[in-house]
Structure 1
Amino acid sequence: MKPELAIYILMLLSVNFLAYRAYRYELQLINGTQMIQFGKSAPLMKRNIYIFFSGTILFLVSALRYNVGTDYINYKMFIAQPVLPDWERGFVALLRLTEIFTDSYEAFIFVNSFLVVAIFCKCYYDYIGFHPMALYLFITMGTYFQSFCLLRQIIAIAILFYGFRYIKNKHYIKLILCIIVAALFHSSTLIVAPAFLLANIKIERKNYIFGTIFGGVIAIIMQPIAMEFINQKYFGAFNNAVDSILPIYSIALGMIVFVFAMIYRDKLIQLNESNNALFNIAFFYLVYTFVFAYVPVMSRCFQFFIPFFTLLIPKIIMCETNPVTRKFFYALFGIVFFIYMCLFVKFTSAGVLPYQTIIFSH
């Protein structure tokens, strides 16, 4: 094990062990087992304890970081200036609220980390019973590590993810309000808002296939044109060799998830009609990646979709009735995204290595 990766791998293992234990007790509560002997309070308390400690680990690793993430120092310098940049009002309000109690930038990171981890943990419990695979993907697919860098956008992503309950229940007024609140932390929310407002529409299977093929052809045609424009406009925005293949990864990720979802689409919808929204979100992710994959500013919008994949993939696996195939899928996705996590934290420009903590920073 590489020393610089050790903290993240140990975090991944411990969080998922605790999430697995919490999920086991959640199943006991759902199935009513052990209720007669112990009563409902015993598994309920144990489940809540495991959820608490798994969330606490995620929170502490994020909150106690020091100079970890590309924007850590940038935000620290901006906040120290007499006049703040033209940031969204929700983020500024959160910053000012923190400053009532302390001017410490590290304290703001503490608050930011708590807010993000709390929202995501709440969502994973509400949406999928704190399924360990969802927590595993939350870490390995990069959303957790992006929270070290995208201090404003990650709050918007978390709020929009929280709004999935309004998509499922078709409470569109509440969804619009949720989008507005998210946009108060990062205006890019408005770019992806149409995808989530349209998530419940019914689309015929042939139109999904046609749209995917057509979008792929457009992407192939436009890629060299877009790359030439970006290299001139942004003076070689993709100088980093790994960052330059991230758009390809984004498209490949969308294709893999969408193909698996297409295979199990009928079972997904039969399991729960609200899964149609997750399926459509995966499709809209493809549309956005085809159009914006090589536009650096716009490509950040892809991050809004990734948390929904962490729900969709476990649901796809649970649709598989063959236990051997189900275990194979768990192993396949587990290995693939573990490798991706290692490559992401080590080679991309996210700046999450080496990990340092404020405990030993002085």
Structure 2
Amino acid sequence: MAIYMLNLVVVSVCGYMAEVTKRFDEEKNRYKYKIIFIIVAALSLILVSGFRYKVGTDFTQYSEYIIYYDNSFDGIFNEAGFAILLNISRAITENPQLFFMITSIIVNVCVITFLIKNTDNMFLSLYFYITTFMFYLTMNGVRQYIASVIVMLGYRALVEGNFKKYLIYVGAAFTFHSTVIFMIPVYFIARKRIDSVWNIGIFFFAIMAMLFYGEFIEILFELLKDTRFAYYKEIFLDGSGANPIRIIVWMAPVVLIFMYKDRARKVFGENVDIVVNLCYLGSIFMILASKQVFFARMCMYFDGYYLLLLPKLCSMFEEKTNKFMTALIMVAYLGYSLLLLRSREAWISPYNYNLQLF
């Protein structure tokens, strides 16, 4: 776990230095950061993730794909983008370690780019990228996380109401994981007010799905019966739920924002509805994950927006209160990440590495 702690320190220090030396670029209407600090933070994230060895629940599975993949789009995957990525990696070497380095570069560069364009506090966003456990979970569900971060890059299109441009990002992500098609209706839901009838309806739908879980799964998989996801039905009926602490952590920031929505609107401005709605939808899936942990995989499409929400949550009150809130939230998330690491959540720890890429 020492590597993880060193990574947290390096990334946090670089994020802090980037934050205190930033200047506002009026031409692009966003903050401009010292590139050297961003590069060092990105390198630390990329190297820790890229050199991981037998870390994460999917490591062995993806390693086998690299070794045995037969270059057929009709084989293991239907998503062309990921199949092409596999072929490129195998054309260079059949050592799976290169594949993990490539995917690490894609995911972390996309996350850093997303933050450069959208966060108001690079230090806190990078800190929470690690301590919310998002960074560690990018080492699992590799295909889906690539799709997730590609859609995250379309956030500005979502804010600006440019649906056609947003569709381009979803289309690119679709070539890596077909479940991202779900993010098309999310575009319209996210642009509603946080206190809209839609959100109330979604919440009650989640409660009903929890109360009548068996019937809900029967209906859901009746809709999916002709898809490649149909075989998951028995897993969803017999599986176990997500760690309750993860559910609480996902819900708490959203509940706080709803409690102080007028104050949040002043801090966030016109984007408050979009950011909060995206986090709210992720928390709904995490509620469903209390019945079956597989629902938590849909949270991959939403956890990146907490990197915008949490820094804002730290600046919603008076200056003295904000300092206390910032310290409290930072300590709470550090404790949360350490707890999950110590419990070996998703096989993220212990950390092992392999420096041989070829």
Q: Which amino acid aligns with 1:194?
A: P
Q: Counterpart in 2 of 1:345?
A: 341
Task: Report whether the alignment pairs 1:120 with 2:111.
Answer: yes
Displacement of 1:348: 4.3
2:18 corresponding residue in structure 1: 22
Distance in 1 between the 2:171 and 2:16 partners?
A: 35
Q: Does 1:159 align with 2:150?
A: yes
Residue 48 (structure 1) aligns with: 35
Going from structure 1 to structure 2, the CA distance change for 1:233 and 1:209 (only over 3 Å counts) comes to: closer
Is structure 2 residue 256 aligned with structure 1 residue 260? yes
Aligned to 2:319: 323
In structure 1, give the amino acid aligned to 2:299. F
Stretches of structure 1 that go unaligned for 5 or more consecutive residues are: 33-42, 239-243
The CA deviation string for residues 274-296 of structure 1, in whole angstroms up to 9 with x for no partner, is 22201221232344344554234
Give the alignment partner of residue 194 of structure 1, picking from 178, 181, 185.
Answer: 185
Q: Which of 28, 46, 51 is equivalent to 1:59?
A: 46
Q: Tell me the distance in 2 between the aligned counterparts of 1:200 and 1:329.
A: 28
CA 1:22–1:104 in structure 2 vs 1: closer, same or farther (change >3 Å)?
same
For residues 146-181 of structure 1, what are the alpha-carbon distances to aligned partners after superposition, in whole Å with 9 as ceiling and x for unaligned?
111211111011111111111111111011121121
Deviation of 1:265 (Å) = 2.5
SS of the aligned residue for 2:115 comes to: helix
Q: 1:47 & 1:18 partners in 2: Cα distance?
A: 10
The normalised TM-score by structure 1 is 0.82
**Given residue 337 of structure 1, which amino acid in structure 2 is its aligned partner?**
Y
Q: Percent identity?
A: 23
Q: Which amino acid aligns with 2:8?
A: L
Deviation per residue, 1:98-120 (Å, 9 max, x gap): 33433332111111111111110
What displacement does 1:187 show?
1.5
Match of 1:178 in 2: 169
With over 3 angstroms needed to count, the CA separation of the structure-2 counterparts of 1:200 and 1:359, relative to structure 1, is: same
Asked if the contact 1:121–1:130 (Cα under 8 Å) also holds between the matched residues in 2, the reply is no
Distance in 2, Cα, partners of 1:326 & 1:71:
39
The one-letter code matched in structure 2 to 1:324 is: K
* 1:1-362 aligned within 5 A: 5-26=1-22, 29-30=23-24, 47-83=34-70, 84-129=75-120, 131-202=122-193, 205=195, 207=197, 210-211=200-201, 214-215=204-205, 217-218=207-208, 221-222=211-212, 233-234=234-235, 236-238=238-240, 244-246=241-243, 248-270=244-266, 271-291=268-288, 293-320=290-317, 322-359=318-355
In 2 relative to 1, CA 293–182 (structure 1 residues): closer, same or farther, beyond 3 Å? farther
1:36 is matched with none
State whether residues 268 and 276 of structure 1, in contact with CA within 8 Å, keep that contact through their aligned partners in structure 2: no
Kept in 2: contact 1:264–1:316 (CA 8 A): no
Equivalent residue number for residue 221 of structure 2: none
SS in structure 1 at match of 2:142:
coil
2:336 counterpart letter in structure 1: Y
- Answer yes or no: is the 8 Å Cα contact 2:146–2:173 preserved in 1: yes
- Whether contact under 8 Å (1:191, 1:301) holds in the other structure is no
Aligned pair in 2 of structure 1 residues 289, 193: CA closer, same or farther (>3 Å)?
farther
- TM superposition score normalised by structure 2: 0.83
C-alpha distance in 2, partners of 1:195/1:49?
36
RMSD: 3.2
Deviation, structure 1 residue 191:
2.9
Tell me the distance in 1 between the aligned counterparts of 2:255 and 2:354: 43
Q: Which of 311-320 and 187-196 deviates more? A: 187-196
User: Is contact 2:242-2:291 (8 Å) kept?
Assistant: no
Task: Give the count of matched residue pairs.
Answer: 337
Shift, 1:209, TM fit: 7.8
What SS class does the counterpart of residue 185 from structure 1 fall into? Answer: coil
Output the amino acid matched with 2:300.
Q
Distance 1:148 1:161 in 2: 17
Once structures 1 and 2 are overlaid, which stretch shifts more, 298-307 or 78-87? 78-87
Would the alpha carbon gap of residues 87 and 294 (structure 1) be closer, same or farther in structure 2, given more than 3 Å must change?
farther
